[in-house]
Amino acid sequence: MQDMDSLKEKDSELFARDVKELLDHIGDKRIYELLKETEHQTLEILLLSTWGYSGREVAKIMGMAEQTIYTKRNRLRKKLKNLSKIE
């Protein structure tokens, strides 16, 4: 992935500056555990999405196909939905 430090300058009020900080913001232990087991690449996609980048922009930044970005986000969304059904 490109140098994420240069991308961070897009917005000085970011939710999280990196994947570790993103995970640190998770208050729900079950969601934290699910995300902790998620592949790092998917977490980077999630982070870039929280920064306001579109799927197309994330694909360009990460050098991946746009459809791959949407697929990875949808798989994570499905896991999170399934987690909420377990309650």
- The pLDDT value recorded for residue 4 is 53
Residue ranges covered by each domain of the chain = 4-86
CA torsion through residues 55, 7, 31, 27, sign: negative
Residue by residue, what is the 3-state secondary structure of 45-85? HHHHHHCCCCHHHHHHHHCCCHHHHHHHHHHHHHHHHHHHH
- The pLDDT value recorded for residue 16 is 87
Angle 66-86/55-62 helices, nearest 10 degrees? 120
Q: What is the pLDDT of residues 29-54, one digit of tens each?
A: 999 999 999 999 999 999 999 999 99
Task: Judge: domain 4-86, CATH 1.20.1740.
Answer: no
Residue 7 has pLDDT above 90, yes or no: no
In the predicted model, what is the mean pLDDT of the chain?
Answer: 86
- The pLDDT value recorded for residue 67 is 98
Residue 24 · residue 16 · CB < 8 Å: yes
